[in-house]
Amino acid sequence: MIRHIRERRWCRRPMPFCKRQNRRAAALLLAPSLAGVAVFYLLPFAEVLRRSFTDAMGRRFVGLTNYQTVLNNDAFRLAAANTAKFVGICIPLLLALSLILALLVRATGPQRGKGFRSLFLLPMVIPVASIVLLWKVLFADSGLMNTALGAAGIPPIDFMGSDAAFWILIVTYLWKNSGYDMILWIAGLDRIPAAQYEAAAVDGANAWQMFRAITWPGLRPTLGITALLSLINSFKVFREAYLVAGAYPHPSMYLLQHLFNNWFLNLELGRITAAAILVVLALLACGSIGLAVRRFQRRNQP
């Protein structure tokens, strides 16, 4: 104990542990994870970067040819636009929807809430193949949706062969992931102390004002991670789309991963890696814009 107090005297920062101790401990704790990540994730990423500047087999250096080819390629433009559209529509929609769900579920109280939580989480665990089966049964030309529409007197819609395919993709994504995001929101909501709400209620604020003043600011930290996880999950929607509509679906459903898949079958690894790096750069750009906006907001806050 005496030793500790003496050490604390030498440490400038009001932190529990000293810098040296921290660094040593961090190194030890991080070592296995870093080693694994370096071998299984960093190394492949570096190889991807390298191959974007070489030919497909990775032998000959070709400079920026791959990037030029990719940027001039119609299919890439279409796929990138579709993916951007998908992400741009989906993520805000998902965040909003899951937030509403979270608020509703919390409002029903702890007991019933549990049931609903599991219910909304269930779509996430349904295996991909079952979703494919479901999709086919529902949205095929003679599927159940068209039967239902027919019963209501509406002419059948060609779901898979028209722009409706895009919206089906979005609906599937929302359905699968709303439960997941809802859990994240609920966790974030739980962290906001109830006392603040009680104080506001005493002051006579209504629900909307409470939301704007207390809930929304309190959820900001959760927003970041939820958005990121939703982004990651949005890439996973490819597998269902691929299993149902094949390698060449309706153009409205044609995502970057379809393109990568098809290019890969033709061994166009140079193009794939160049396109992947472009996507990463785009994400970094969005991320830094987001950070810059946040910093700007924080500076403007009282």
Partner 1 sequence: MRQLKKWCAGILAGLFAVTLAGCAAVPGQQETTGDNTVQSLTGGYLEEDISPDHNDNVGLYAVGDVLHAVTIENAAAPLQQQIAHWYTMGPDGSWQENEANGFADAAAQVPEASAALCNAYLAQDGSLYWRITVIREEPEKTSQSYLFAVQDGKARLLDTPPVGEVSLWMDDTTTALAVCGDTILVTDNTMEPHAYDNQGNPAPMKFPDIQGRLLCGNATGYYWLDAQSNLQYCLVGGTTVETVLDGSRYALTSPGMHVRSAAAIDDDTIYIQMSDGNISSQNQELYRYRWDETLEVVQGGELTVFSLYQSRTVEAAVDEMIKQTGAGVTYTYALGESTENGQAVVTGSREDALTQLNTQLLAGSGPDVIILDDMPVQSMIEKGVLADLTGIINTDGLLSNMAGVWQTDAGLYAVPARCVPLLFGGIDTVMADIPDAETLAQRLAAEPNINEAEYNWQTDPIPLMAFRNTEQLFDTFYPLYAGEIWQNNELNAAACRTFLEMLNRICQGGGRSLNIADAAASVYSGTSYYTPSNGTSGSFMNAGSNAFCDLEYSLSGLGSYFQYYTEISGNPTTATVRAMTTAAGQSCIQPSCVAGINASSQNPEGAAQFLQILLGQTVQEQDTYDGYPTLATAVQAQWQAGLSNSGVQSNTDMAAVLQEMDVVQPSTVLRSAMLQAMQCYLESGSAEEAIQTARDTAVLWLAEQ
Partner 2 sequence: MKRCHLPCILILFLLSLFTLWVLWFMAMGALTPEDELIATIGPALQGEEHSATWCLLPSWPTLQPMAELLLDTPIFFTMFWNGCKLVFPQVLGQLVVAAPAAWAFSKLPFPGRKILYAIYLLLMVLPFQITMVPNYLVLDNLGLMDTSLAVILPGIFSAFPVLIMKKGFDAIPDVLLDAAALDGAGPLRSFAAIGLPLGFPGILSALLLDGIEAWNAIEQPMMFLRDRADWPLSLYLSDVTVEGLGLAMAASLILLAPPPLLFAAGQKYLERGIGLSVSTGENV
Q: Which residues bind partner 1 (CB under 8 A)?
A: 55-59, 73-75, 78, 247-248, 251, 254, 258-259, 261-269
Options 37-45, 59-67, 71-79, 87-95: segment touching partner 2 (CB under 8 A): 37-45
Largest CA distance in the chain: 85
CB of residue 55 vs partner 2: minimum separation in angstroms?
A: 13
290 is an interface residue for partner 2 by CB under 8 A: no
Cα→Cα distances 72→174, 257, 264, 275, Å: 32, 18, 18, 11
Stretch of 30-38, 62-70, 73-81, 292-300 contacting partner 2, by CB under 8 A: 30-38
For residues 292 and 302, what is the distance between their CA atoms, to the nearest angstrom?
18
The candidate with the shortest Cα–Cα distance to 290, out of 301, 282, 278, is 282
Looking at this protein, which amino acid is placed at residue 160? M
Query: Is residue 154 part of the contact set for partner 2 (CB under 8 A)?
Result: no
Question: Which residue type occupies 88?
Answer: G
Contact present, 69 and 263 (Cβ < 8 Å):
no
Tell me whether residue 230 is exposed, middle or buried, using C-beta atoms within 10 angstroms of its C-beta: 0 to 12, 13 to 18, 19 or more: buried
What is the closest distance, in whole angstroms, from the C-beta atom of residue 299 to partner 2 in the complex?
19
By a kind-dependent CB cut-off of 5 to 8 A, residue 92 interacts, out of partner 1, partner 2, none, with none
CB of 129 to partner 2, least distance (A): 3
Residue 16 interacting with partner 2 (CB under 8 A): yes
| DSSP secondary structure string for all residues of 160-182 | TTSTHHHHHHHHHHHHHHHHHHH
Q: Specify burial of residue 154 (Cβ count, 10 A radius: 0-12, 13-18, 19+).
A: exposed
Name which of partner 2, partner 1, none residue 248 binds, using a CB cut-off of 5 to 8 Å depending on partner kind: partner 1
Taking CB under 8 A as the rule, does residue 101 contact partner 2? yes
Residue selected from 63, 155, 194, 300 as contacting partner 2 according to rule CB under 8 A: 194
Options 152, 202, 232, 265; binder of partner 2; rule CB under 8 A = 232
Out of partner 2, partner 1, none, which partner does residue 59 contact, by CB within 5 to 8 A per kind? partner 1
